[in-house]
Structure 1
Amino acid sequence: MRINARSAGILALLPAVAACTHNYPGPPASEFGEANRQTMAAQVVDPDPQYDTLNPPTSGEHAGQAAERYRTDKVKQPVRQTTSSGSGGPQ
């Protein structure tokens, strides 16, 4: 079996590359993927929610009025909200 110079060079560098992996400055393997696990946990619905009342307060009259406005195309426009105030840029 013949080994050319290129293969011999690659084989000689393998121990050096393997040694570099032990000094990797990243987090330990046990913390790898922690951000993904935290994001997934934040999206899970509470399996046993606790509410102050069994049924939230509702109004059938208001719901009926809203449905009628929708059918007659007279929906109330929402009030415009601003999120910031201040002056404009330099003039």
Structure 2
Amino acid sequence: MNIDRPLLLLAATVMLGGCATYGTVEGKYDTEAFGEANRQTYAAMIVNPEPVYDEEMETSAEHAADAAERYREDKVKQPDKTSSTDTPG
């Protein structure tokens, strides 16, 4: 029981250390790199808020309902097996 709290504190310290994405330049924080993880996450969310596609996306409520029904009945369609290591020849 007495070791739980120090272990929790140590684990929290290690995890918080992983959040620091900035480096030091001559003992000072590099303001250009500070907040990099937050900017990357934000950019990933708003890459293109209004994408334009060449063709209309093919989907329907009927297809979605069929997929949900197959999931409930444990009869999910298995995807085709593909490999990225095959060489043409």
- Report the TM-score range of the alignment, normalised by the length of the smaller protein: 0.3 to 0.5
TM-score by length of 2: 0.43
* Structure (1/2) with the larger strand percentage: 2
Which structure would you say has the larger RCO, counting Cα contacts within 8 Å and 6 or more residues apart? 2
Please say which structure displays the higher CA radius of gyration.
1
> In proportion to residue count, which structure has more helix?
1
TM, length-normalised to structure 1? 0.43
